[in-house]
Amino acid sequence: MDPDFEYQLQCEAEAKRQEVATGSTASSLAAASGTYVDPQDGTVYEWDGTRRAWFPKVDDNFLAVYQASYGLNPLVPSTDQPVPSKSEGSFVTQDAQPPRDKVREHFDEFDDDEQKQHPASSSRDKKKQKTATPEDTKDPTAKGQEKKKAAEPPAWFDVDDEHNRNVYVSNLPVSTTEEEFVELMQKCGIIAPDPRRNNKPKIKMYKDKDGNFKGDALCTYMKIESIPLALQILDGYEFNRHKIKVEIAKFNVKGQFDAEKAKAGRLKKNEKKRLEKAETKMLDWRPDKLPGGRPKNEKTVVISNMFDPKEFESEPELILEFKQDLQPECEKFGEVKKITLYDRHSEGVVTIAFSDFDAADSCVRRMHGRFFAGKQLSATLWDGKTKYRVEETEEEKEKRLEQWDKFIASKTNT
């Protein structure tokens, strides 16, 4: 073996032994006195059990070296005005921190920079530090007993007044129906809709085992402002010779907590949307439609027998021509919003959507019985239910695509 290479290996082995010895010495010193002296520069380090790290020990020697190196007193910031101390002639600031805190602050900034550069390693170090804290060295069973609270029996609890929109009504006549109770409670505000009861008023009338009404009920208002009105107006109100009692609802915990029931009791996404839509409609300032008003579907005109679907099999471009010819004719009656041609419908149906009822009525009067391309048309108002779209089968789809390819090829060749 090469003597130089052998000497290099010996040096590396000796360096490793020294490193192990230094680490063991530091560990023993940390266990014994909590201090460690760097053999290279003689700096005295102090062990911090909370941070699991060595920090320079702040003493007179450290302050002298610091001031000789940087020319500043670490206890006196350069921006503050010095104030003479009463006990000594030296100058210190009123907000001066102890030497240990000042040096630790310096190393805290260093740790922050290290965490920014090596976030993964710093997070691992924090986990290690957390596992080694004195609190974690306690008996885990004792720690669990400290955090564990004694089981409290089911009791009444109050919902936050800002969110409690429920009132409890008692001493109602046993003959009271849901309609009568809703009419009574609506005197003080809008009752919240219940999405699980098809947006019916959210009330609950308590019944006994036989299904008979017991005389007490629960009502949920949509707005919190209805609660003080109900307490002021309905509490003590005489209803069918009964003086009723109205109070803010309180709820009782029954049995043990069941996660499955709690999960099932939550509103689903579509139920929340229906609830929001119902509440928006109930709070809308616009008046309801007058009875006997015309539905929106009567703005759409259905014209039948306008074409033969077989014509489009050989000449698909006729679909666009039909729409272009029909557009100006229909615009004579009013504003046209949309024209839909159902090219696979056996009766040759076209629908025209107008912006108002008068235009649709005029279109029906003028187009019904009229001849178009040798065919007598039939025009009526749409009933809002009939669907005219015809779904094609797989065979029809393949046939249509094949004919379309032939049509494109013929146009390309010409």
C-beta neighbour count of 110 within 10 angstroms: 10
Residues 26 and 28: their CA atoms lie apart, in Å, by 5
pLDDT at 103: 45
Q: Which residue, among 300, 306, 281, has the nearest Cα to 377 in the 3D structure? A: 306
pLDDT at 21: 61
Which helix (H) or strand (E) segment is 403 a member of? helix 394-413
Which helix (H) or strand (E) segment is 341 a member of? strand 336-341
Please tell me the chain's helix, strand, coil percentages from 3-state DSSP, rounded to the nearest 5: 45, 20, 40
Going by pLDDT thresholds of 50, 70 and 90, the confidence category of residue 207 is very high
Q: CA dihedral in degrees (46, 48, 51, 56; nearest 10)?
A: -20
Mean pLDDT calculated for residue range 264-278:
72
* Residue 161 or 23, more confident: 161
pLDDT at 313: 74
Q: Per-residue pLDDT tens for 348-392?
A: 899 999 999 999 999 999 999 988 878 899 999 999 999 998 887
- 14-28, 80-94, 179-193, 239-253 — most confident range: 179-193
Q: Where are the domains of the chain?
A: 26-117, 156-252, 296-404
Q: Per-residue pLDDT tens for 127-153?
A: 445 454 544 545 555 555 555 455 555
**Total-model pTM:** 0.36
Residues 226 and 224: their CA atoms lie apart, in Å, by 5
Helix (H, G, I), strand (E, B) or coil at 388: coil
Contacts 24+ apart (CB under 8 A), 361-367: 362/333, 362/334, 363/301, 363/330, 363/333, 363/334, 364/301, 366/333, 367/301, 367/303
Q: How far is CA 93 from the centre of its chain?
A: 51
* Residue 62 or 224, more confident: 224
pLDDT at 340: 92
Q: Report the chain's mean pLDDT, rounded to a whole number.
A: 75
pLDDT of 20 above 90: no
End-to-end CA distance of the chain: 89
Eight-state DSSP code of residue 126: H
Six-digit token pair at 297?
Answer: 């579907």
pLDDT at 99: 47
Pick the CATH number of 156-252 from 3.30.1360.70, 3.30.70.330, 3.30.70.890, 3.40.50.620: 3.30.70.330
pLDDT at 152: 55
pLDDT at 28: 55
Six-digit token pair at 216?
Answer: 């007490």
Pick the CATH number of 296-404 from 3.30.70.330, 3.90.1170.40, 3.20.20.80, 3.40.47.10: 3.30.70.330
Six-digit token pair at 305?
Answer: 């027998």
pLDDT at 260: 60
Residues 309 and 322: their CA atoms lie apart, in Å, by 12
Q: Per-residue pLDDT tens for 113-132?
A: 444 444 444 444 544 454 54
Going by pLDDT thresholds of 50, 70 and 90, the confidence category of residue 179 is very high
Q: Which residue, among 199, 182, 167, has the nearest Cα to 267 in the 3D structure? A: 199
Helix (H, G, I), strand (E, B) or coil at 383: coil
Domains 156-252 and 296-404 share a fold: yes
Residues 93 and 149: their CA atoms lie apart, in Å, by 48
Helix (H, G, I), strand (E, B) or coil at 380: strand
pLDDT at 218: 94
